[in-house]
Chain A
Amino acid sequence: MVGFLIRRIGQSIIVLFFVTVFTLFLVHLFPGGPIRALLGPKATPQQIAYYNNLYGFNQPFYVQYLKWVGQLFQGNFGYSPKLNLTVASEIGQYLPKTIVLVALGLIVSLLFGIPLGIYQAVRRNSFGDYLLTGISFLGYSTPTFFVGLILVDWFAIDTHVFPAFAPQGTSVGSILADPRALVLPVISYAFVLYALWSRYMRSSTMDNMVQDFVRTARAKGASERRVVWVHVFRNSLISIVTLLGLSLPTLVAGAIFIEVVFNYPGMGLAFYTAALNVDYETLLGFTVLATVATILGNLVADVGYAMLDPRVRY
């Protein structure tokens, strides 16, 4: 186990190295370089040379890289001249609100996805299974933003049941203070995630239903309900916990579209605004943060899986 941990952490460090080199390299891909992107087409060569010197873009790549990584280790994610804010303060402002959206969406989608996925596995090829499979495929095949827009059209514009926009506010408290406005963003986010969990839960439960421990439980005279909800469920839960750690990129992607549709003041909307403004420091800082979180999520998922499932030995 210790050997596995060391090897797995070593892998993550190598991956982190590649990712940071690649993301910093992306900045240099901006047409005319990052400073041209920052100052716009009217900048004179003198201005560009001045700022290149100021920001150190005229230094060799490895010097830039070491300096940048050193800053990251100190929690310095860069500085956005367009917003006159440090990227760290942007993250501090937006991240908690995105976490609220993602957490609510996750809870709702898991509450539906897990039991319905198990139901589908138990009643395989029944009408209910086909119906729910159809709904999952619909979830897979519908653009996230389109789900949001249809809900806005039906429930906000045609019927005025819920507001069309997410709660606006600077603090997490002000977001939670307006739960009605949260309904549509959370439902549209949860719908897309539901497809993921229910499909996964269905196949994982089906795999577990034919395992030896299920036969043993039945032989001992356990009721079918006990077999499914105690023996199979606990084993399927292990893999869904792992999947949670691995699906961080999917969660981020969904959140960006939902935040743009509902004007939800979180990381995704800020990232989108930065993309429109070619605010490369914000783009870079947010991407590095999300990427490091993904790598850590994968690491925790792998290690957690090895610890939760005693059959796994490395």
Chain B
Amino acid sequence: MADTVTASSASDLGVEPNEKPRGLLRRAWEVFAENKLALVSLGFIIFIILFCFIGPLIYKTNQINTDLSTYLCKPSGAHLLGCDDLGYDELGRLMAGGQTSIEVGLAAAIVSVLFGTLYGAISGFVGGWVDSLMMRIVDAGLSIPYIMLVIILSVIFHPSPAIMIFVIAAFYWLGVARLIRGETLTLRTREYVQAVKVIGGVPMRSVIRHVIPNAIGTIIVQGTFAVADSILILSGLGFLGLGIQAPSTDWGSMLSNGLQYIQGGNYWWLIYPPGIAIILTCIAFNFIGDALRDAFESRLQKR
């Protein structure tokens, strides 16, 4: 993937033959790496992924059977972050919930970015009445307040993690499609795209080989923000009790569960760990998205 993108963009951008050809992604990385905040965020994301997916192998807890003998127990040596109302170890729960949150967030982002990109690129490239029709459909989807759509969809389809991916992607692709369509409108007039038409290439070839690789900056930036947004929406649905159902959990459902005890006493370990995990993960993805946008934009300025 990276190689084809690099090769096509290097030739497309008209890099001088004597200049050492450097791929778009590598140049973007160089700018990105100068941004300390973004590097810290990237480090944090790697840490949280290791924590959620490798952590349970080291810190073994029982996340299947409830244990009422440890009902709401305080943090201690045996349970580093205490236990919740079903006796699940909270630190282990944070890992299990994080797995769901991150998996759903990443998958929803990938699905919506892939579909939105293809839809937007085709719409913008074909143009004419097809474009108008396709964009009115996007307008229609975007005018439904997304939270209402998501709530109705989760009432209709009782949510499992796989369904949540579909529910979130069902509206998130719309924004991506509109953005990529705008990008495509400027790209389709470029000479190298016109040249494909002249030598008899089919439109789909232009879209896949030329339009999409040149919009890769926008696509990656959008994908990064999509992960943060998806995690937030999933947690919101979890809070409303419409998200992932027990015994699986996600950070939002953990929060929602802990809230029942917010009035009753100081059960901080039920609320702050999942809340802070959501906030830090989303901030990190947002910082990375912001830095990537700068990185890809500065590529345009240097050109």
Contact = CB atoms under 8 A, between A and B. Distances in A.
Which secondary structure characterizes the binding site on chain A?
Answer: helix
Interface string B263-297: 10000000100010011001100110000000000
B146 A249 contact: yes
Interface stretch (B119-127, B150-158, B202-210): B150-158
A193 to B, nearest CB: 15
A19 B279 contact: no
Given A11-B139, A15-B139, A146-B255, A271 B239 contact: no
A14 B138 CA distance: 11
Contacts of A172: none
Contact of B145 (A18, A144, A252, A283): A252
Contacts of B164: none
A142 B148 CA distance: 19
Interface in A1-58: 11, 14-16, 18-19, 22-23, 26, 29-31
A22 to B, nearest CB: 7
A47 to B, nearest CB: 21
B158 to A, nearest CB: 8
Interface string B234-261: 0110011110000000001001000100
Contact of B146 (A137, A153, A253, A278): A253
Contact of B155 (A144, A146, A150, A275): A275
Nearest to B278: A143
B265 to A, nearest CB: 10
A103 interface: no
Given A256-B147, A275-B151, A145 B283 contact: no
A19 B144 CA distance: 8
B286 A141 contact: yes
Interface of B: 136-137, 139-149, 151-153, 155-156, 228, 232, 235-236, 239-242, 252, 255, 259, 262-263, 271, 275, 278-279, 282-283, 286-287
A29 B242 CA distance: 17
B147 to A, nearest CB: 4
A5 B232 CA distance: 37
A63 interface: no
B283 A137 contact: yes
Interface in A73-106: none
A298 B286 CA distance: 27
A294 B145 contact: yes
